[in-house]
Amino acid sequence: MSSVHPRKVKLLYFAWVREKIGRGSEEIALPDNVATVADLVAWLKTRGPEFGEAFARADVVRAALDKTHVKSDARIAEAQEIAFFPPVTGG
Amino acid sequence: MGVKVQTEDFDVASEVDALASGRTDIGAIVTFTGRVRDDDKGRPIKSMTLEHYPGMTEEELSRIEADAHARWPLQASLIIHRTGELSPGDNIVLVVTASAHRQAAFEAAGFLMDYLKTRAPFWKKETSPAGESSWVETRENDETAATRWRPT
Protein backbone atom coordinates (compact mmCIF):
# COMPACT_ATOMS: atom_id res chain seq x y z
CA MET A 1 0.00 0.00 0.00
CA SER A 2 1.34 3.43 -0.84
CA SER A 3 0.05 6.72 0.50
CA VAL A 4 -0.41 9.81 -1.64
CA HIS A 5 1.04 12.05 1.04
CA PRO A 6 4.16 10.58 2.65
CA ARG A 7 4.11 10.81 6.43
CA LYS A 8 6.40 13.36 8.07
CA VAL A 9 8.73 12.23 10.83
CA LYS A 10 11.31 14.01 12.94
CA LEU A 11 14.89 12.74 12.84
CA LEU A 12 17.32 13.50 15.68
CA TYR A 13 21.09 13.01 15.64
CA PHE A 14 23.42 13.03 18.66
CA ALA A 15 27.15 13.19 19.48
CA TRP A 16 29.44 12.23 16.55
CA VAL A 17 26.46 11.20 14.41
CA ARG A 18 25.20 14.79 14.73
CA GLU A 19 28.66 16.24 14.00
CA LYS A 20 29.18 14.11 10.87
CA ILE A 21 25.72 14.92 9.48
CA GLY A 22 26.12 18.58 10.37
CA ARG A 23 22.78 19.13 12.10
CA GLY A 24 20.95 17.93 15.19
CA SER A 25 17.48 17.43 13.76
CA GLU A 26 15.35 17.60 10.63
CA GLU A 27 11.90 16.72 9.41
CA ILE A 28 11.59 14.34 6.48
CA ALA A 29 8.81 12.79 4.42
CA LEU A 30 9.14 9.07 5.09
CA PRO A 31 9.50 7.26 1.73
CA ASP A 32 6.87 4.57 1.13
CA ASN A 33 9.44 1.79 0.77
CA VAL A 34 11.00 2.52 4.18
CA ALA A 35 9.50 0.10 6.72
CA THR A 36 12.28 -0.55 9.24
CA VAL A 37 15.08 1.41 10.90
CA ALA A 38 17.58 -0.40 8.64
CA ASP A 39 15.56 0.67 5.57
CA LEU A 40 15.70 4.26 6.79
CA VAL A 41 19.48 4.11 7.30
CA ALA A 42 19.92 2.69 3.76
CA TRP A 43 17.78 5.52 2.36
CA LEU A 44 19.57 8.21 4.41
CA LYS A 45 22.94 7.00 3.07
CA THR A 46 21.78 7.86 -0.46
CA ARG A 47 21.16 11.50 0.53
CA GLY A 48 24.79 12.60 0.64
CA PRO A 49 28.36 11.83 1.68
CA GLU A 50 27.78 13.17 5.22
CA PHE A 51 25.18 10.44 5.79
CA GLY A 52 27.51 7.85 4.25
CA GLU A 53 30.15 8.99 6.72
CA ALA A 54 27.81 9.00 9.74
CA PHE A 55 26.45 5.52 8.96
CA ALA A 56 29.72 4.04 7.62
CA ARG A 57 29.75 1.73 10.61
CA ALA A 58 26.00 1.15 10.57
CA ASP A 59 26.24 -1.63 13.15
CA VAL A 60 27.73 0.86 15.63
CA VAL A 61 25.04 3.56 15.30
CA ARG A 62 22.13 2.98 17.69
CA ALA A 63 18.51 4.01 17.15
CA ALA A 64 15.46 4.97 19.20
CA LEU A 65 11.82 5.15 18.10
CA ASP A 66 9.79 7.66 20.10
CA LYS A 67 12.48 7.70 22.82
CA THR A 68 12.78 3.91 23.20
CA HIS A 69 15.87 1.90 22.21
CA VAL A 70 15.25 -0.36 19.20
CA LYS A 71 17.25 -2.74 17.01
CA SER A 72 17.78 -1.98 13.32
CA ASP A 73 15.13 -4.49 12.23
CA ALA A 74 12.44 -2.64 14.23
CA ARG A 75 9.46 -1.45 12.19
CA ILE A 76 9.00 2.32 12.20
CA ALA A 77 5.21 1.92 12.04
CA GLU A 78 3.60 5.05 13.52
CA ALA A 79 6.68 6.46 15.29
CA GLN A 80 6.91 10.25 15.16
CA GLU A 81 10.50 10.71 16.30
CA ILE A 82 13.48 8.62 15.16
CA ALA A 83 16.88 9.21 16.77
CA PHE A 84 20.35 8.00 15.74
CA PHE A 85 23.35 8.09 18.08
CA PRO A 86 26.60 6.34 19.05
CA PRO A 87 26.71 3.81 21.90
CA VAL A 88 25.99 5.73 25.11
CA THR A 89 28.81 6.77 27.46
CA GLY A 90 27.15 8.34 30.51
CA GLY A 91 27.67 7.68 34.19
CA MET B 1 11.70 7.57 43.38
CA GLY B 2 13.26 10.43 41.51
CA VAL B 3 15.26 11.30 38.43
CA LYS B 4 16.95 14.63 37.76
CA VAL B 5 18.99 15.72 34.74
CA GLN B 6 20.65 19.05 35.43
CA THR B 7 23.65 21.27 34.68
CA GLU B 8 23.98 22.34 38.35
CA ASP B 9 26.11 20.50 40.88
CA PHE B 10 24.50 18.40 43.63
CA ASP B 11 25.28 18.02 47.31
CA VAL B 12 25.33 14.36 48.35
CA ALA B 13 24.57 14.99 52.05
CA SER B 14 21.54 17.21 51.41
CA GLU B 15 20.17 14.82 48.76
CA VAL B 16 20.43 11.91 51.22
CA ASP B 17 18.84 14.05 53.97
CA ALA B 18 15.93 14.99 51.71
CA LEU B 19 15.38 11.37 50.73
CA ALA B 20 15.53 9.88 54.23
CA SER B 21 14.18 12.73 56.36
CA GLY B 22 11.30 11.61 58.59
CA ARG B 23 11.56 7.98 57.43
CA THR B 24 11.96 5.32 60.10
CA ASP B 25 11.54 2.33 57.78
CA ILE B 26 14.88 2.89 56.01
CA GLY B 27 17.70 0.86 57.56
CA ALA B 28 20.31 1.18 54.82
CA ILE B 29 21.31 3.89 52.37
CA VAL B 30 23.90 3.42 49.63
CA THR B 31 25.21 6.36 47.61
CA PHE B 32 27.39 6.22 44.52
CA THR B 33 29.01 9.39 43.14
CA GLY B 34 30.71 9.43 39.74
CA ARG B 35 33.27 12.23 39.18
CA VAL B 36 35.37 13.59 36.31
CA ARG B 37 38.97 12.28 36.37
CA ASP B 38 41.90 14.30 35.04
CA ASP B 39 43.03 11.53 32.70
CA ASP B 40 41.57 8.87 30.42
CA LYS B 41 43.96 5.92 29.98
CA GLY B 42 46.99 8.18 30.45
CA ARG B 43 45.63 11.00 28.25
CA PRO B 44 45.24 14.24 30.25
CA ILE B 45 41.74 15.75 30.36
CA LYS B 46 41.07 19.48 30.76
CA SER B 47 37.28 19.32 30.49
CA MET B 48 34.43 16.99 29.68
CA THR B 49 31.18 17.90 27.92
CA LEU B 50 28.10 15.76 28.41
CA GLU B 51 25.44 15.74 25.71
CA HIS B 52 22.12 13.96 26.17
CA TYR B 53 18.76 13.29 24.49
CA PRO B 54 16.30 15.51 26.40
CA GLY B 55 13.09 13.63 27.07
CA MET B 56 14.47 10.16 26.36
CA THR B 57 17.10 10.54 29.10
CA GLU B 58 14.47 11.12 31.78
CA GLU B 59 12.23 8.34 30.41
CA GLU B 60 15.09 5.85 30.25
CA LEU B 61 16.35 6.69 33.75
CA SER B 62 12.79 6.31 35.11
CA ARG B 63 12.47 2.91 33.37
CA ILE B 64 15.80 1.75 34.87
CA GLU B 65 14.72 3.00 38.30
CA ALA B 66 11.35 1.22 38.04
CA ASP B 67 13.20 -1.99 37.06
CA ALA B 68 15.33 -1.69 40.23
CA HIS B 69 12.20 -1.23 42.38
CA ALA B 70 10.65 -4.31 40.76
CA ARG B 71 13.72 -6.41 41.58
CA TRP B 72 14.62 -5.23 45.09
CA PRO B 73 12.55 -4.07 48.09
CA LEU B 74 13.62 -0.42 47.91
CA GLN B 75 12.08 2.24 50.13
CA ALA B 76 13.43 5.11 48.06
CA SER B 77 15.88 5.93 45.29
CA LEU B 78 17.32 8.88 43.43
CA ILE B 79 19.32 9.35 40.24
CA ILE B 80 20.93 12.71 39.40
CA HIS B 81 22.98 13.10 36.23
CA ARG B 82 24.68 16.32 35.17
CA THR B 83 25.08 17.58 31.60
CA GLY B 84 27.09 20.35 29.97
CA GLU B 85 30.75 21.21 30.49
CA LEU B 86 32.46 19.73 33.56
CA SER B 87 36.03 19.89 34.91
CA PRO B 88 38.19 17.26 36.62
CA GLY B 89 36.97 16.79 40.19
CA ASP B 90 33.39 17.79 39.32
CA ASN B 91 30.50 15.47 40.15
CA ILE B 92 28.83 13.74 37.17
CA VAL B 93 26.29 11.32 38.58
CA LEU B 94 24.65 10.43 41.89
CA VAL B 95 22.76 7.24 42.64
CA VAL B 96 21.08 6.78 46.03
CA THR B 97 19.24 3.62 47.07
CA ALA B 98 17.46 3.10 50.38
CA SER B 99 16.15 -0.15 51.79
CA ALA B 100 15.37 -1.86 55.08
CA HIS B 101 18.58 -3.89 54.81
CA ARG B 102 21.95 -3.30 53.18
CA GLN B 103 22.01 -6.06 50.58
CA ALA B 104 19.12 -4.71 48.51
CA ALA B 105 20.54 -1.18 48.67
CA PHE B 106 24.04 -2.28 47.59
CA GLU B 107 22.79 -4.49 44.77
CA ALA B 108 20.26 -1.99 43.45
CA ALA B 109 22.88 0.80 43.37
CA GLY B 110 25.20 -1.44 41.30
CA PHE B 111 22.33 -2.38 38.99
CA LEU B 112 21.30 1.27 38.48
CA MET B 113 24.84 2.34 37.58
CA ASP B 114 25.44 -0.64 35.25
CA TYR B 115 22.19 -0.05 33.39
CA LEU B 116 22.57 3.72 33.33
CA LYS B 117 25.98 3.33 31.67
CA THR B 118 24.64 1.09 28.90
CA ARG B 119 21.12 2.52 28.33
CA ALA B 120 20.78 6.18 29.35
CA PRO B 121 21.36 8.41 26.31
CA PHE B 122 24.38 10.44 27.45
CA TRP B 123 27.57 11.01 25.46
CA LYS B 124 30.87 12.31 26.82
CA LYS B 125 33.33 14.40 24.85
CA GLU B 126 36.75 14.99 26.37
CA THR B 127 38.99 17.98 25.69
CA SER B 128 42.75 17.77 26.27
CA PRO B 129 44.84 20.67 27.66
CA ALA B 130 45.95 21.30 24.02
CA GLY B 131 42.29 21.84 23.08
CA GLU B 132 41.78 18.59 21.14
CA SER B 133 38.34 17.06 21.58
CA SER B 134 37.28 13.45 21.15
CA TRP B 135 34.16 11.41 21.92
CA VAL B 136 34.58 8.82 24.63
CA GLU B 137 34.23 5.25 23.33
CA THR B 138 32.08 2.66 25.06
CA ARG B 139 34.06 0.44 27.38
CA GLU B 140 33.52 -3.23 26.78
CA ASN B 141 33.55 -3.96 30.51
CA ASP B 142 30.55 -1.63 30.93
CA GLU B 143 28.55 -3.88 28.59
CA THR B 144 29.81 -6.95 30.45
CA ALA B 145 28.91 -5.41 33.82
CA ALA B 146 25.29 -4.91 32.73
CA THR B 147 24.91 -8.52 31.57
CA ARG B 148 25.43 -9.86 35.10
CA TRP B 149 21.90 -8.68 36.00
CA ARG B 150 20.22 -10.62 33.20
CA PRO B 151 18.14 -13.62 34.16
CA THR B 152 19.96 -16.86 33.35
What per-residue confidence (pLDDT) applies to B148? 86
Work out the percent of chain B whose per-residue pLDDT is above 90. 86
Structural domain span for residue B14: 3-130
CATH of the domain at B37: 3.90.1170.40
Whether residue B101 is predicted with pLDDT greater than 90 in this model: the reply is: yes
pLDDT of residue B152: 62
- CA B141 – CA A91 distance, rounded (Å): 14
Number of structural domains in chain B: 1
**Would you say residue B90 lies in a domain?**
yes
Predicted confidence at residue B145, as pLDDT, reads: 83
Residues of A in contact with B137 (CB under 8 A): 87, 89
**Mean pLDDT of the B98-107 span:** 98
Per-residue pLDDT at B151 exceeds 80: no
Distances (CA, A) of B6 to A3, A59, A88, B60: 42, 31, 18, 15
Strand partners, B48: B86, B126
Q: Any idea where the domains of chain A sit in the sequence?
A: 21-85
Please check whether residue B55 lies inside any domain of the structure: yes
* pLDDT of A4 above 60: no
The residue in chain B having the minimum alpha-carbon distance to the alpha carbon of residue A69 is: B119
The backbone torsions φ and ψ at residue A68, rounded to the nearest 5 degrees and listed phi first, read -125, 130
Residue B93 placed within a domain: yes
Q: What is the model's pLDDT at position A6? A: 79
Write the burial class of residue A43 (CB in 10 Å: 0-12 exposed, 13-18 middle, 19+ buried): middle
Position A75 pLDDT exceeds 80: yes
Query: Is residue B148 a part of any domain in this protein?
Result: no
A12·B53 Cβ contact <8 A: yes
- Asked whether residue B64 is domain-assigned, the answer is yes
Residue B97 pLDDT exceeds 90? yes
Output the CA–CA distances (angstroms, integers) from residue B82 to B15, B61, B92, in the order listed: 14, 13, 5
The answer to the question of residue B138 being in a domain is: no
